[in-house]
Amino acid sequence: MKLARASITSKPKVIEIEKIEEELEKKSIFYFDKDNSHKELKELIEYFESKEYSVYMREVKFGLNDDEYIYEVHIVK
């Protein structure tokens, strides 16, 4: 999975699902880059739902252009 970019010109950082699971003890909201495919996001949601987590995802626009968005994912027990 690719985390959201810190700036428009930077490259997204890659994170493994296992690392996200470890970080759930500290936080429950993650921001992912628009470069993630819908299939990857669906697999992420299904992975955590199979482990009895509730997962909510939405697109967050940060500009006026259609391609200026990130994915916000809430993962809670």
Domain count, the chain: 1
**11 domain-assigned:** no
**68 domain-assigned:** yes
Q: Which domain holds residue 52?
A: 17-76
| Predicted local distance difference test score (pLDDT) of residue 28 | 96
**3 domain-assigned:** no
41: exposed, middle or buried (Cβ count in 10 Å: 0-12, 13-18, 19+): middle
**2 domain-assigned:** no
Average pLDDT over residues 2-16: 92
Predicted TM-score (pTM) above 0.75: yes
| Predicted local distance difference test score (pLDDT) of residue 9 | 87
**8 domain-assigned:** no
| Predicted local distance difference test score (pLDDT) of residue 63 | 86
**58 domain-assigned:** yes
**DSSP β-bridge partners for residue 70:** 60
Contact residues for 11 (Cβ-Cβ < 8 A; gap 6+): 5
